[in-house]
């Protein structure tokens, strides 16, 4: 009887030690290559199978994919020793042409608590449709974009650029324009598009004729067969800048220089329904004439033009801003931009701040 009790105790002790050994997650493979797949072929998926080669129940606690294009699923119930489970990776190739290599991190209570799986492959791009190439429509005329950007245009150049158009109708389309400012020229090539014909709109932006500076936008209308159709406006933009690249070292040395007495002003605590004024004072500390091209407020402010917009070396001037606090609450930080012919700093940023009380 005594021997039987000793054997029983030994068996129970051994079992407890064995069961205390952790689970182990063993995948058949940790990398899967889908090869070449089509962008418009729909989702692809692969199940990574594993075995619990440990001695305790295996529980997957978290599965995290490296990007939103991969959706994982997995065996959520405990996997007993010797049994199998899976981690499935679902990859969406839509709008993702090119090669891919994504990871799926698997966390569990196993002795190897974190395992990284990988899926890879090559997404073959789908054939682009007319709607892809020309996403905007003006009647039967399809266009590459309704925003024609010339990016940076210098004040001494004429910049030329193009954008694509397409006749999606079964009839010829004559393209013309209205509301075009004097510093912009637009012409279609060809002037009449045949059915299913691709063409261009050629634009010329004359920086020499623009009586403005910085970021400028214009709204131009496109006429189809001399008729104004709905949604026919396009935006033409350019950032007009002075060209300092032609200045010699001597000219740069003797250039104008803009210096503000205080480029920042804090109104402190103010009420939420008032107008508050401040005067910014500046000076030309350079060696040649300085021109104030433009003062642009983007802060709910109005500005009063300075007394002098052309300053000789050593001369000073000032301008006033009026800050309207209506509709604002809490701490406010706003900007005013001063554009000049100072080659070292053609755009100077001024700051105003305030704390608007309830």
> In which residue are the tokens 């990398």 written?
31
* Burial classification of residue 102, based on how many CB atoms lie within 10 Å of its CB (0-12 exposed, 13-18 middle, 19 or more buried): middle
Identify the pLDDT of residue 9.
41
Q: Does domain 130-241 have CATH number 3.40.50.1970?
A: no
pLDDT-based confidence at residue 58 (cuts at 50, 70, 90): very high
Question: Can you tell me which residue has the tokens 């966390």?
Answer: 107
Half-sphere exposure of 291 (CA within 13 A, CB side): 5
For the residues 249-253, what does the mean pLDDT come to?
94
292-314 mean pLDDT = 86
Domain locations along the chain = 20-124, 130-241, 249-356
State the Cα–Cα distance between residues 207 and 197, nearest whole angstrom.
32
Q: Is 152 helix (H, G, I), strand (E, B) or coil?
A: strand
Asked if 268 contacts 175 with a C-beta cutoff of 8 angstroms, the reply is: no
Q: What is the mean pLDDT of residues 63-70?
A: 85
pLDDT at 8 over 50: no
Q: For the chain, what is the mean pLDDT?
A: 90
Return phi, psi of residue 68, to 5°.
-70, -10
DSSP state, residue 125: P
Work out the pLDDT band at 89, boundaries 50, 70, 90.
Answer: very high
- CA angle 336/339/342 to nearest 5° reads 130
CATH code of 20-124, in short, is 2.60.40.10
Domains 20-124 and 249-356 share a fold: yes
Instruction: Give the position of tokens 């199940």.
Output: 47
Residues 6+ apart with CB under 8 A from 315: 283, 284, 308
Question: Could you tell me which of 104, 91, 118, 103 has the C-alpha nearest to residue 37?
Answer: 91
Give pLDDT, residue 303: 78
What class does CATH assign to 249-356? mainly beta
Full-model pTM: 0.69
The confidence score (pLDDT) of residue 38 equals 94
pLDDT band at 15 (very low <50, low <70, confident <90, very high): very low
Q: Is the pLDDT of residue 20 over 70?
A: no
Q: What gap in Å lies between CA 22 and CA 83, rounded to an integer?
A: 14
pLDDT above 50: residue 185: yes
Would you give the DSSP letter of residue 191? S
């Amino acid at each position: 009887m005594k021997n039987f009790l000793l054997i029983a105790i030994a068996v129970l002790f051994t079992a407890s030690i064995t069961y205390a050994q952790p689970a182990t997650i063993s995948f058949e493979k940790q990398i899967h290559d889908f090869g070449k797949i089509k962008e418009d072929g729909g989702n692809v998926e692969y199940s990574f199978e594993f075995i619990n080669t440990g001695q305790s129940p295996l529980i997957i606690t978290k599965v995290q994919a490296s990007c939103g294009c991969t959706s994982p699923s997995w065996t959520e119930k405990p996997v007993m020793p010797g049994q199998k489970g899976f981690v499935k990776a679902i990859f969406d190739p839509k709008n993702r042409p090119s090669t891919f290599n994504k990871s799926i991190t698997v966390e569990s209570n196993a002795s190897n608590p974190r395992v990284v799986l990988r899926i890879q492959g090559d997404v073959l791009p789908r054939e682009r449709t007319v709607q892809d190439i020309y996403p905007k429509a003006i009647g039967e005329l399809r266009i590459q974009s309704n925003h024609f950007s010339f990016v940076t245009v210098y004040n001494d150049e004429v910049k030329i650029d193009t954008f694509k158009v397409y006749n999606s109708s079964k009839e010829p389309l004559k393209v013309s324009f209205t509301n075009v400012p004097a510093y912009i020229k637009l012409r279609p090539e060809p002037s009449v598009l045949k059915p299913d014909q691709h063409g261009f709109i050629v634009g010329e932006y004359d920086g020499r004729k623009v009586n403005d500076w910085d970021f400028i936008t214009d709204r131009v209308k496109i006429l189809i067969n001399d008729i104004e159709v709905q949604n026919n406006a396009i935006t033409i933009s350019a950032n007009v800048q002075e060209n300092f690249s032609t200045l010699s070292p001597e000219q740069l040395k003797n250039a104008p220089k803009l210096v503000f007495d205080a480029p920042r002003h804090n109104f402190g605590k103010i009420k939420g329904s008032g107008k508050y004024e401040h005067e910014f004072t500046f000076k030309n500390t350079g060696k040649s004439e300085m021109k104030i091209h433009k003062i642009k407020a983007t802060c709910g402010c109005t500005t009063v033009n300075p007394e002098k917009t052309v300053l000789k070396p050593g001369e000073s001037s000032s301008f006033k801003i009026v800050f309207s606090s209506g509709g604002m609450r809490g701490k406010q930080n706003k900007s005013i931009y001063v554009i000049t012919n100072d080659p070292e700093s053609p755009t100077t940023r001024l700051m105003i701040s305030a704390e608007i009380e309830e």
